[in-house]
Structure 1
Amino acid sequence: MTKISLGAHPYLLGFEELERLMERTAKSAGDGYPPYNIEQTSPHSYRITLAVAGFSENDLAITLEENSLVVRGRQSEDSDGRVYLHRGIAARQFQRSFVLADGVEIGEAVMENGLLHIDLTRKPPESVVQTIQIRKGGHTKGSAQ
């Protein structure tokens, strides 16, 4: 079966960057930690929720890097003399990236019951109709080319 690429399709012009973006995103999916949900809260808004139990607001950083929303978590080591018989709660650093389309804006981020909620809104694109003028060429029917 032949793979059809977006850049090679005759009706999709200029989508090469989208294809590279999809390939890069598939490679950076990571190990699935921390788990997250993405929900559509209205026709033009979304909410990303990450399960970050054990992290405080000070342990988390949210940045916008080019068109990527990046959430990083790094817990401070507490060496207050605790002796663990079993340590099953993850205490590791993470980085989770979400690629945002043009026009998507980040709203507020709220920490609640071990869940980090990040609200996003998408401004609908303006409908633009542009008329292209056709100029008369220098060649006429029957002339030598």
Structure 2
Amino acid sequence: MRTYDIAPLYRSAIGFDRLLDMFESPDSMTSANDWPPYNVEKTGEDQYRISMAVAGFKPEDIELVQQQDVLIVSANKRPEPGGVQYLHRGIAARAFKQTFTLIDHLKVVDASLNNGLLTVELKRDVPEALKPRRIEIVSAAGDAMAGAAGRPAQIEHEPAKQAA
């Protein structure tokens, strides 16, 4: 397995420590349990969708929990009343727990189960105070001659004296 030294990235990656830590631990990059199959889509500038194939599960069998920056999708199949006898069972109804790490300010806005497909809609809503803002740079030297709008003040010359 090829390894990379990412130590130089720590110098310029302020606030991305967790992301870089994930690259250092290879077991966090792959999941031992890739069931059920799922897709992650970007549907807009700040909108995402997770689609999971959960055939055989009912809405009451599935639990979605968001804890800060983690979304946990888990399910337990409840036993069917009447004791169904299967001759062949090809639709897996085994319990699962899938965990997704979310970026900051990403919230679940909707979840639905339709035709065996669980769809979770997510939206990133960054508070106004945390959005990027432009900062004006003011020069400290030479501002004595500057006008109110930051332009150099015009110095009037004295009118020429007329000969009497």
If the TM-score is normalised by the length of the shorter chain, which range does it land in?
0.7 to 0.9
CA distance in 2, matches of 1:115, 1:14: 36
* Residue 45 (structure 2) pairs with residue 40 (structure 1): no
Residue of structure 2 equivalent to 1:139: none
Given the superposition, is the C-alpha separation of residues 82 and 20 from structure 1 closer, same or farther in structure 2, using an over 3 Å criterion?
A: same
- Decide which of 84, 99, 102 is 1:100's aligned counterpart: 102
Superposed displacement of residue 79, structure 1: 5.5
Runs of 4+ in structure 1 over 3 Å off? 21-25, 128-131
Gaps in structure 1 of 5+ consecutive residues: 132-145
Gaps in structure 2 of 5+ consecutive residues: 137-164
* Residue 89 (structure 2) pairs with residue 87 (structure 1): yes
Residue of structure 2 equivalent to 1:118: 120
Superposed displacement of residue 101, structure 1: 0.6
Q: Deviations over 1:48-75 (max 9, x none)?
A: 1111110000000000123111100110
Residue of structure 2 equivalent to 1:70: 72
Larger radius of gyration: 2
Q: What percent of counterpart residues are identical?
A: 33
2:87 maps to amino acid: L
Residue of structure 1 equivalent to 2:148: none
Query: What SS does the aligned partner of 1:18 have?
Result: helix
Query: What SS does the aligned partner of 1:58 have?
Result: helix
Residue of structure 1 equivalent to 2:133: 128
Alignment RMSD: 2.4
When normalised by structure 2's length, the TM-score is 0.69
The structure whose RCO (Cα within 8 Å, separation 6+) is larger is: 1
When normalised by structure 1's length, the TM-score is 0.77
